[in-house]
Amino acid sequence: MLYILYGPDGFSRTEALAEIKKGLGDEVMLASNTNVFEGKKITPSELSVVAQAVPFLSEKRLIIIEGLLEKFDSKAPKSRGKKTTKASSKQNETELFTEIFLNHPESTVIVLVGENEGKNNPLLNGIISKAKVSRFPLLRGLKLIRWIEKRVAEKGGKISSEAAKLLEKQTDGDLWALSGEIDKLISYALGRQIEEDDVNKLVANSRQVTIFDMTDAVLGFRAENAQRILQQLLLEGMAPPFILSMITREVRQLIQIKAMLIERKPQAEIRAKTGLQNDFVWNKTSERANTYHFNRLKDLYHKLLETDIAIKTGKYNDELALNILIAEMCAARVG
């Protein structure tokens, strides 16, 4: 099966990917049969080897490729006359990828993920007829209000239309933030309908960002949000060493979880050793661990150590070092 998930709404893309994973069997076994690649770096030959591999003790193998469609975005008009060597090479690469996507084994599930499929995209044109395509545009106005109402209902809550409209205005369309605010409102309402007064009490007074918002944005590849939150935290007087230590703590925890998942440790044992007894926190953290290669997590940990050394030796000042670190962590997708 081939899935294409694209659009600027990263929250919905992430949830769609999670739903695909749920339908592929045991999450621990799937983790050992999941490969995640960066579209700009993966070659047809590398992908072909993995796509043809037989799943290990599982019915399915999952391949996730981030940003591959963007690589084949034909923004410029086609040149007349003889094709250049570079153009010919790219056409050949397009054909090779297309062949893999159209003819991979049924046991292999491939998911192409990206913010934009590009214009006049030859790769997309060649595979779209065989793919299940889901588009995720940013939600605004009435569509966002409807999303809020649906989300509340899915979580087992109720919300008035006035409260939904107010919530839409106060969260600026950020579904990551909205999801968290909805969880808080449902817990606060204790079974009754969420009203405008609830939104005013909980949301209007809780927009101050926290260090956890920033680490969540960094590890979720939301660079713009991460940089914005970092600047706000620094303006509020939070110490750079503390910020760095919290990011390091989260990466270290992901490494521990990933290592135990690779060793096929029981979920109960992993949760006991990491202290993640809350279901919501566990699901979110384990899902994130599955999106990273173990080697990539180790690379991030070493980069954190390098940043700490750069600050302590005076190579960079605190703020510059953190900005560089966050930019690199958000830009370098797993692969």
- Both 126 and 194 in a single domain? no
- Both 185 and 228 in a single domain? no
pLDDT band at 111 (very low <50, low <70, confident <90, very high): very high
CA–CA distance, 159 with 195 (Å, rounded to integer): 6
- Both 117 and 6 in a single domain? yes
- Both 167 and 222 in a single domain? no
- pLDDT higher for 145 or 278? 145
The domain boundary, picked from 184, 202, 220, lies at 202
What pLDDT score was predicted for residue 79? 46
- Both 23 and 121 in a single domain? yes
| Structural domain count of the chain | 3
The pLDDT tens digits of the residues spanning 31-72 come to 888 888 888 888 999 999 999 999 988 889 999 998 888 888
- Both 31 and 108 in a single domain? yes
- Both 112 and 170 in a single domain? no
State mean pLDDT over 231-240. Answer: 79
State mean pLDDT over 221-244. Answer: 83
- Both 146 and 115 in a single domain? no
- Both 215 and 251 in a single domain? yes
Strand 61-66 with 108-114, pairing: parallel
The domain boundary, picked from 94, 112, 135, lies at 135
Range of the domain at 182: 141-202
Residue 178's identity, in one-letter code, is L
Query: In CATH, what number is assigned to the domain containing residue 10?
Result: 3.40.50.300
- Both 99 and 189 in a single domain? no
DSSP codes joined into one string, 115-130: S---SS-HHHHHHGGG
Query: In CATH, what number is assigned to the domain containing residue 318?
Result: 1.20.272.10
Return the number of other C-beta atoms located less than 10 Å from residue 155's C-beta. 13
pLDDT band at 335 (very low <50, low <70, confident <90, very high): very low
The domain boundary, picked from 84, 106, 135, lies at 135
* % of the chain with per-residue pLDDT over 90: 27
- Residue-averaged pLDDT of the chain: 84
- Both 131 and 146 in a single domain? no
The pLDDT tens digits of the residues spanning 152-203 come to 999 899 999 999 999 988 776 778 778 878 988 998 888 899 999 999 888 7
Q: Give the list of residues 6+ apart from residue 87 with CB closer than 8 angstroms, or none.
A: 79
Angle at 247 between CA 172 and CA 27, to 5 degrees: 85
- Both 245 and 180 in a single domain? no
pLDDT band at 77 (very low <50, low <70, confident <90, very high): very low
